Structure 1
Amino acid sequence: MTIGLIDIDSKIPNLALMKISSFFKSLGEEVEFVKPNKEYNRIYASAIFTRSKNKCEELLNIYEDKIEIGGTGWDLDKVLDDEIEHMKPDYTLYEIEDISRRIKGIGTKESKIKKATDIVNAGIGFTTRGCVRQCGFCFVPKKEGDFKQVSEINDIINPKSNVLVLHDNNLTADPNCIDKLNEIRDRKLIVDINQGCDVRLVNEDIAKALSEVRHLRSIHYAWDLMKFEKDVIEGIQTLSKFIKPYRHMCFMLVGYNTTFEEDIYRFHKLREFKVDPFVMVYNEKNDRKLKHFARWVNARIYKSCKWEEYGPWIREQLSYNQMSFI
């Protein structure tokens, strides 16, 4: 029996597919990513992003009842069987080239290969599922339910590397947060807290524990809603006592329920604390102003010109105004 897998849109190794691979390999089955013109007894696909729904529908038309599709981008209610969920990921599934091809942006082929090597060799997984928050824009509460413990740090370590990609949705809400961070420190692991930290919950003990582990990249958190300004700012100030602000990144959700004036305000407020913002446009909303704003912020163009001086947006407005008079 041959099992085919399709990773529709993941930017890093897809954990669900890795567990499916482990499960079927434990039964003695052959498992591989789907190859053209090859027959498979069963195919499993995963989509992370909702923008991939059209691709999912195309796959259903091609493979019909032979394929099963899961993932947040396709079906929030579909989950892995318990037996598969608790499998150790198949760390041999992905090749370095699979991931390096997915790395976008500026960079040499060699730098992308190096980054891909770190990612492929990393341990990856969750120690908790769910979240204590009920944010209206987030899929986690519906898909994963109440906050709960699901595994230990030791369960997700990849023997090939000391890098750990931790997918926990809200590590700072975990009653065992400090113990887990101390274990990561004591094991000399390098951690990527992939989903970020809830900075509103950061106290001095958590901030100190976060400062004592090695981070694969900047420590990141979010400021999505204006009503949480006070708590977010207090969390940033506490974290900054232990981790310098140049090592922070704050994700800013725009296009959900904030005005553009509030978006600009949050940007300037974060820069007052020397924190780098990163703009995320809600549901990839087709708003040209927000897309220009995201590029101005995320490409760090704000360091060379003010928003009011940003040429591409100025030119687009002029072009629109001229067209409206034709």
Structure 2
Amino acid sequence: MKKILLVEPQKSKKYHTPYPPLGLLKLSTYHKEKGANVRFVRGFSGDGFEPDSIYITSLFTYAYEPVHDVIRYYSNRFKKAKIVVGGIYATLCPDHLEEAFGDRVEIHQGLFGPAEELLPDYSLVPEWKSSILFTSRGCIRRCLFCSVPQIEPEFKAKPSIRHLIYPRHKKVILWDNNILASFYWRDIFDELEELGLEVDFNQGLDARLLNEEVAIRLKRSNLPL
């Protein structure tokens, strides 16, 4: 049985997010379905778990130092383990990461396709009570200030998201970059309305795509006020 260690860098003023690491939670489901023994840690762990592979996530480019800290720690502690680094920083600044660690780390850029449609393993974060998901990836816009075209270059939309909602959760947090650009947005809104869950359009809505129909559907949605 393979042993997989999933690492979120230590949260601090330099590395802060109120949300769980969605990519790692999906990787957990992926590897567990293959029969692996999966462990998730935040920051530095000193227990006796000896992983075969270590997956480290990263946030924005300015928050790279805590990522480097955990890479150094785990590469020294587990010299034979494969270390894979993914996430936003790894995708946007692979040269910076490679310059720091050479071939000691494997850099994964962009999404991990095989895990995209899997339900995140929320058992790793039992304190978390909302389902985070994307009904679409990418964006139809190409704003010069935005990194989405580099991280998710192709716009893809899902016709359904029921399989991505954890049964015990009462709230859905949507991380779409542009949900209203989805061909299936009406179907998604129908599902959310049928499920009766609170909905957080966390990344906002494209004002250029707002119209009376959208406004009516939003009014019918269970939005937090």
- Does 1:36 find its partner at 2:76? no
Question: 1:19-68 deviations in whole A, cap 9, x for unaligned?
Answer: 11001111222212232243322111111222221222223323336321
Q: Tell which has more relative contact order, 1 or 2 (C-alpha 8 A, sep 6+).
A: 2
The amino acid that maps onto 1:46 is T
Going from structure 1 to structure 2, the CA distance change for 1:122 and 1:42 (only over 3 Å counts) comes to same
SS in 1 for 2:56: strand
Alignment of structure 1 residues 1-326 onto 2, 5 Å: 1-8=2-9, 9=15, 10-34=17-41, 35-38=45-48, 39-64=50-75, 66-76=82-92, 78-96=109-127, 120-150=128-158, 152-216=160-224
Answer whether contact 1:173 1:201 (CA < 8 A) is retained.
yes
RMSD: 2.0
Report the structure, 1 or 2, having the larger helix content: 1
Identity value in percent:
35
Measure the CA separation in 1 of the matches of 2:188 and 2:34. Answer: 33
Structure 1 residue 90, shift from structure 2 partner = 0.8
Going from structure 1 to structure 2, the CA distance change for 1:207 and 1:171 (only over 3 Å counts) comes to same
Question: Which structure 1 residue ranges, 4+ long, deviate > 6 Å from structure 2?
Answer: none
Structure 1 residue 172, shift from structure 2 partner = 1.8
Structure 1 residue 158, shift from structure 2 partner = 1.0
Question: 1:57-82 deviations in whole A, cap 9, x for unaligned?
Answer: 22332333632111112323713442
Answer whether contact 1:126 1:151 (CA < 8 A) is retained.
no
Measure the CA separation in 2 of the matches of 1:72 and 1:124. Answer: 17
Measure the CA separation in 2 of the matches of 1:138 and 1:6. Answer: 27
Structure 1 residue 200, shift from structure 2 partner = 2.2
Higher Cα Rg: structure 1 or 2? 1
Question: 1:278-305 deviations in whole A, cap 9, x for unaligned?
Answer: xxxxxxxxxxxxxxxxxxxxxxxxxxxx
The amino acid that maps onto 1:93 is L
Question: 1:126-180 deviations in whole A, cap 9, x for unaligned?
Answer: 1110001111111111110132114622121110023111111101222322332
Give the gaps of 5 or more residues in structure 2: 10-14, 76-80, 93-107
The amino acid that maps onto 2:83 is I
Answer whether contact 2:130 2:172 (CA < 8 A) is retained.
yes
TM-score normalised by structure 1 residue count = 0.55
Measure the CA separation in 1 of the matches of 2:170 and 2:19. Answer: 17
